[in-house]
Structure 1
């Protein structure tokens, strides 16, 4: 084997997920390389490059999306890792996201918006295992709460002959049949953008009548939407890093213990205006919850929330718990910790500064609360989720 491994990256750059994978691979090779990288921008559905058939390299990282691409990679006989997971039984080790916590995060986010009607909009079954699992897990969560989950997955019959306009009309027709307000999870940002467009066609107001949360958190696509789309950040950089680490082991002759490795949980949810709603009939409770979410990081206490209400403290506390499933104090803590996790993963602020910016009286108390709820310390959390 050469002193410097030659690695081919067959990963598209058209979406944030692929770019995140590449950032993770870059970080790995900067820390453990150098590698000689063979890379040229391409789309997910592009055919395998002609040079790959006779390429004298050492390993391949690929988003395998077709049998043709899979066969070409397998025919090289080189160590390879799949970071797509679209083809079951491919014969290559796969590293990807764990879809169960992704579905749980989406469901909990919609529940926190006060929603009690739920739906899932995805792609035809069998088209992609990851998207199938997101639908399955989300439906199971809704049903476990005693509710019905409405689904729209398109059709396998003539997917290539259905135009954009026809599909948008189909989604709009489906949306009109749903009870509202309704919270919808979509399988990815592309479908989320379609749902928001279909809401306009169906004359449904987002987020008051329809709240939408998607997956992948592509900032360009999410912010092109009207209104901007809330989305789950699945931390693709970590997947890219771990897949590069696995490829390095394969090149050295080590055999993987598992053919499939699922990494999780997701980094969190980027909440934008598509879910900026509180679908709660009790106006006083809705006002209390909104006050918490707007001011929790300022160090407010339960007494500050109760002081704004006309009801007795016990009545307000009981109604909040009935709607959210947790107490006023627990909701304040949840909002603070959500903000703290975002600051830990995206900034270089010290633990003490993060504690101060999220409403905790002192860093020691912040660390105690964080460990209690997250089963890890703030420093360990930062190390685990930091992208670069």
Structure 2
């Protein structure tokens, strides 16, 4: 048996995008039974120190890091680059196969989604211009090109780099920007991490999401979802396909194959729509503020009186506003939010039903069962089995649930 090829993977696997690229590489190796002896740093960081002395057969690397690109250009062994797409072809490395995420289409998907929500004002929350943020600048420029084409003003805020010492000042700056924005407005964040910062700033600034500000991130990062009080809408990159494609290209190069394409642009997979962007115009400011509070705290067990206290009106008056605006009581709105949260969690077979009940704010598993039977005509277990099988739920409860959730 021939010895396996020794391949270096230069990625920062602490980032969800890099992890998905690596997953795609692993899927290629599994599906083709290719045997590679893989090198990665023990802490899954990307370091180029000593790479010129490495006695390997090939490299797949993240070229969004300019240091990586500068170091690997001109190496004698086969290299496949992975990174962001560029509007200017001169920004791609010369003579190296390049697999790119389509930055313009990532932004386009987010932008079109916000337009579909009925919004007419748009902003972009990006990153400060730094050598390692070229991909972020590409997304920002794509956003500005789209708004100019529609004869709209595209507002941009880059904020500060994340640091523990300066976080308080940075968050207040985001909150000030949020307060000053014309509303309602849709904001595209350059990553889910920045989108999470934005959602936190909206809470600090007491600005309702998505009634006044609808937010869309990019990456579909489960960690960002877990750490956000308001479920985040996010564009799903085709990162696994990128990794699979990069591995295929390197495999061809290692066996003397001729590459028919030196540059492959991979489109996004889609968009995961959650509460942060479901903008429904509200005429009543009391209802708007109440729903903002419900989205943050419904799963923590808040009651109608607490919502009324937050809004600053009596319970009776708030109930009148809800019935007039939403045809729901405040309690029903809280319950619908809990139900929607539970439905989303039930799509994951790894989460026990008891945990679903607790994390979605039901007082007991039995109560969650009663609500599911009453609202959806099935038990949580039946719903989970149907959704995990791709059937959309028994009796297609999605239709009713989505109709109810649209108001929330």
Q: 1:152 to 1:43 in 2, by over 3 A?
A: farther
Residues 286-315 of structure 1: CA deviation (Å, up to 9, x unaligned): 979xxxxx9xxxxxxxxxxxxxxxxxxxxx
For residue 217 of structure 1, give the secondary structure of its aligned residue in structure 2. coil
Correspondence for 1:163: 166
Correspondence for 1:4: 4
For residue 179 of structure 1, give the secondary structure of its aligned residue in structure 2. coil
1:347 deviation in Å?
A: 6.3
Correspondence for 1:56: 55
Correspondence for 2:269: 267
Please give the TM-score of this superposition, normalised by the length of structure 1. 0.66
Which 10-residue stretch deviates more, 212-221 or 70-79? 70-79
Correspondence for 1:93: 97
Q: Give the counterpart of 1:231 among 226, 229, 234.
A: 234
Gapped runs of 5+ residues in structure 2?
Answer: 285-321, 328-335, 337-386, 400-408
For residue 84 of structure 1, give the secondary structure of its aligned residue in structure 2. strand
Q: Give the counterpart of 1:151 among 147, 152, 156.
A: 156
Residue 202 (1) aligns with residue 211 (2): no
Gapped runs of 5+ residues in structure 1?
Answer: 289-293, 295-345, 361-388
Correspondence for 2:25: 25
For residue 147 of structure 1, give the secondary structure of its aligned residue in structure 2. coil
1:192 deviation in Å?
A: 0.8
Alignment of 1:100-115 (within 5 A): 100-115=104-119
- CA distance in 1 between counterparts of 2:56 and 2:263 reads 24
1:75 deviation in Å?
A: 6.1
Equivalences, count: 296
CA contact (8 A) 1:119 1:150 kept: yes
Correspondence for 1:220: 223
Residue 73 (1) aligns with residue 76 (2): no
- CA distance in 2 between counterparts of 1:7 and 1:358 reads 49
Residue 192 (1) aligns with residue 191 (2): no
CA contact (8 A) 1:47 1:68 kept: no
For residue 83 of structure 1, give the secondary structure of its aligned residue in structure 2. strand
CA contact (8 A) 2:61 2:68 kept: no
Residues 172-191 of structure 1: CA deviation (Å, up to 9, x unaligned): 22222211121100111111
For residue 62 of structure 1, give the secondary structure of its aligned residue in structure 2. strand
For residue 83 of structure 2, give the secondary structure of its aligned residue in structure 1. coil
Q: 1:359 to 1:275 in 2, by over 3 A?
A: closer
CA contact (8 A) 2:85 2:103 kept: no
CA contact (8 A) 1:115 1:278 kept: no
1:54 deviation in Å?
A: 2.4
Q: 1:161 to 1:196 in 2, by over 3 A?
A: closer
CA contact (8 A) 1:117 1:181 kept: yes
- CA distance in 2 between counterparts of 1:211 and 1:201 reads 16
- Backbone CA RMSD of aligned residues: 3.6
Correspondence for 1:376: none
Which 10-residue stretch deviates more, 204-213 or 143-152? 143-152
Q: 1:359 to 1:141 in 2, by over 3 A?
A: same
- CA distance in 2 between counterparts of 1:216 and 1:116 reads 24
1:119 deviation in Å?
A: 0.5
Relative contact order (alpha carbons < 8 A, sep ≥ 6): 1 or 2 greater?
A: 1
- CA distance in 1 between counterparts of 2:397 and 2:137 reads 37
1:153 deviation in Å?
A: 2.2
- CA distance in 2 between counterparts of 1:237 and 1:168 reads 33
CA contact (8 A) 1:223 1:229 kept: no
CA contact (8 A) 2:48 2:71 kept: yes
Residues 72-126 of structure 1: CA deviation (Å, up to 9, x unaligned): 4346522111212499343432212112222221112112222222111111346
Q: 1:70 to 1:137 in 2, by over 3 A?
A: closer
Correspondence for 1:373: none
1:41 deviation in Å?
A: 4.7
For residue 81 of structure 1, give the secondary structure of its aligned residue in structure 2. strand
